[in-house]
Structure 1
Amino acid sequence: MRAIRGLWRWRHNPLRRGTDLAEAWVALVALILIVVAGPVLGIVAGSLSRDALYRSVQDQHSKRHEVTATVEKKVSQPPLDPDPETSTARDAHSRVVAHWTAPDGSAHRGRVIAALKTPHTGDTFPLWTDDKGRVTGRPLDRATATTHAVLAGFGAAVAVTGLVEGTRRLIVWRMVRRRYARWDQAWDIAGPDWGRTGTGS
């Protein structure tokens, strides 16, 4: 709004300099770009990210499978957080030796992290594997993918806003430097006695 008020104020002002009007126009263009281009690019970036993430979700769900693993024994390990007062949700997981059957029917055994606080031999827990039974991470869900896409769009909009504002500030800084340089030249031409001109000295 300052840019619009600046343009209106300088429109017919006899003291208006060309640089004043140019600065107001730069501010107005920057404002329009921030209000229009920022959100548009944010929406485009968010949509592209969402589409890519949804394809990843679909791909992961087709290649990762939840199987049931059975605990054989607990593996001794130091606690994830030695201070019981600051323990986190990670302490609810234990490292165990377990066996499971892959989606292709093959049997597997190995050390894995179980979502069990106090595992005992014979306890079962869910485990994500690929088609051949290799342990993988839990597949991405659509809600998380949507959240990531929204954050990507918001980040793109903020980046565009920052770029536009940074460019505006750089342009105005260069214009002010040029104005000061012209003032210095004018002072040099006027000389040190400009105030006594016509006094007969």
Structure 2
Amino acid sequence: MAVRTMSGVWRWRHNPLRRRTDLAEAWLALVTLVVMVLAVPAVGALCGSLTDASLRQALAEQRRHRHVTAAVVVARAEHQTAPAQPDGSMGRVTRTRVVANWTAHDGSSHTGTLGTTLKAPAPGATFRLWTDDHGSPVPHPMTTGAAATHAVFSGICAAAMAAGLVEGTRRLIVWRLIRRRYERLDRAWARYGPDWGRTGAGS
């Protein structure tokens, strides 16, 4: 594509049939190609890097203020199943709801209805529970792998959007060039068309 674009620019330089819009389109294609090759990947890399830094900061914040403890099952809740809380992973699992007791990071005791992945949550069974500094249940911190995946996906989306913007701009400019070309043809035809084919026309 690069060779074809450059050859197109070179071919139109001294072509006697060249119109100004032809050369403009050729240069526009070359500029678009350069931007696609250099700027679009840079935008994707920058966006991915910024997203990664932001997610790492959020991950560090979560790890400082989220603590794991052991919750003890008291009884099954009246409603047996509920969707899992979001935790930064890609999937969702079904949890069984139970009434449980747990001790928070600050030493306070709590009782509440929670979701657990235990298949047979009998009274006295324990399971891991993440809480905040005050003992309220929270999703477990986002994993490093999930953060990296989100950062990569963000970079890819940013690069795709930048490429779409560049290509859309090129198409808009080409459309305007074509419109100008046809406007010139219409003006030329209005000027010379009525005399077309007449003997001595234009002499």
Given the two structures, how large is their TM-score scaled by the length of structure 2?
0.89
1:79–1:115 distance in 2 versus 1, CA, 3 Å: closer
Q: Give the whole-Å Cα distance in 1 for the aligned partners of 2:6 and 2:96.
A: 63
Decide whether the 8 Å contact of 2:80 with 2:96 is kept in 1.
no
Amino acid at match of 1:44: L
Shift of 1:41: 1.1
1:180-191 equivalence runs, <5 A: 180-191=182-193
Q: Give the whole-Å Cα distance in 1 for the aligned partners of 2:48 and 2:150.
A: 9
Q: Give the whole-Å Cα distance in 1 for the aligned partners of 2:13 and 2:198.
A: 35
Partner of 1:71: 73
Partner of 2:148: 146
Q: Give the whole-Å Cα distance in 2 for the aligned partners of 1:113 and 1:70.
A: 12
Amino acid at match of 1:51: A
Amino acid at match of 1:13: N
Q: Deviation per CA, 1:180-200: give whole Å up to 9, x if none.
A: 11101110001333123428x
1:155–1:89 distance in 2 versus 1, CA, 3 Å: closer
Q: Give the whole-Å Cα distance in 1 for the aligned partners of 2:92 and 2:38.
A: 43
Runs of 4+ in 1 over 4 A off after TM superposition: 78-81
Unaligned 5+ residue runs, structure 2? Answer: 84-90
Q: Give the whole-Å Cα distance in 1 for the aligned partners of 2:60 and 2:199.
A: 84
Could you say which structure has the higher strand fraction?
2
Match of 2:93 among 90, 94, 97: 90
Decide whether the 8 Å contact of 2:55 with 2:147 is kept in 1.
yes
Shift of 1:132: 1.4
Match of 1:132 among 134, 142, 149: 134
Q: Give the whole-Å Cα distance in 2 for the aligned partners of 1:7 and 1:145.
A: 45
Partner of 2:114: 112
Q: Deviation per CA, 1:23-50: give whole Å up to 9, x if none.
A: 0111111111111000011111111111
Amino acid at match of 2:109: A
Shift of 1:167: 0.2
Amino acid at match of 2:108: S
Match of 2:23 among 21, 24, 28: 21
Q: Give the whole-Å Cα distance in 2 for the aligned partners of 1:115 and 1:107.
A: 22
Unaligned 5+ residue runs, structure 1? Answer: 82-87
Decide whether the 8 Å contact of 2:116 with 2:127 is kept in 1.
yes
Partner of 1:6: 8
Q: Secondary structure at the match of 1:19?
A: helix
RMSD, matched Cα? 1.8
Decide whether the 8 Å contact of 2:82 with 2:96 is kept in 1.
no
Shift of 1:6: 1.4
Partner of 2:59: 57
Given the two structures, how large is their TM-score scaled by the length of structure 1?
0.89
Q: Give the whole-Å Cα distance in 1 for the aligned partners of 2:146 and 2:93.
A: 20
Q: Give the whole-Å Cα distance in 1 for the aligned partners of 2:7 and 2:101.
A: 73
Q: Share of identical aligned residues, percent?
A: 52
1:61–1:70 distance in 2 versus 1, CA, 3 Å: same
